[in-house]
Amino acid sequence: MADPVSAEAEFRARLEALNARFVAQLPGMLEKIESALAACVASGATPTAEQLTALHESLHSVAGSAATFGYAMLGQQARRIEQQLRMTMQDGSGWPAIPPQVEQYLRWAARDPKANVYG
C-alpha cells in the first residue's frame, strides 16, 4: 500500500507542474485570442463562420482551464465573451459589440491575468 504522505506529495508536485505549464502557455493562449480577433476584424463587417469559430475556440480554451489554475476572473470573463460570441454565431447579430469586449479583456489580462476584479 502506498504511503499517504508520499501520495499527497506526488499529487501536489503534479498539480504544481500542471500549474506551471498553464502559466507558461497563457501568453500564447492570449495571443491566439488576439490573432483570431484580428482576423475577424480584418474581414470587414461580417467575419466568416470559420473566423468566428477560431475566436470562439481560443476563448473557450482559456475559459475552460483558467479557474482550475487560480485564474478565476480570467476564465469567467473569457466564458462571458465566449457565450456572447456563441449567440452571435447562432443568430448572426451582435458582432459589433464583441471586438471591444475582447480588446478590453486582452488589455486587462495583460496587466494582471490573476486579478480577482475585472475592469
pLDDT tens-place string over residues 67-89: 999 999 999 999 999 999 999 99
The cell numbers describing 48, all together, are 466568416
pLDDT, position 43: 81
pLDDT tens-place string over residues 34-62: 999 999 999 888 899 999 999 999 999 99
Q: Which residues of 53-78 are buried (b: 16+ CB within 10 A; e: fewer)?
A: ebbbebbbbbbebbbebebebbbebb
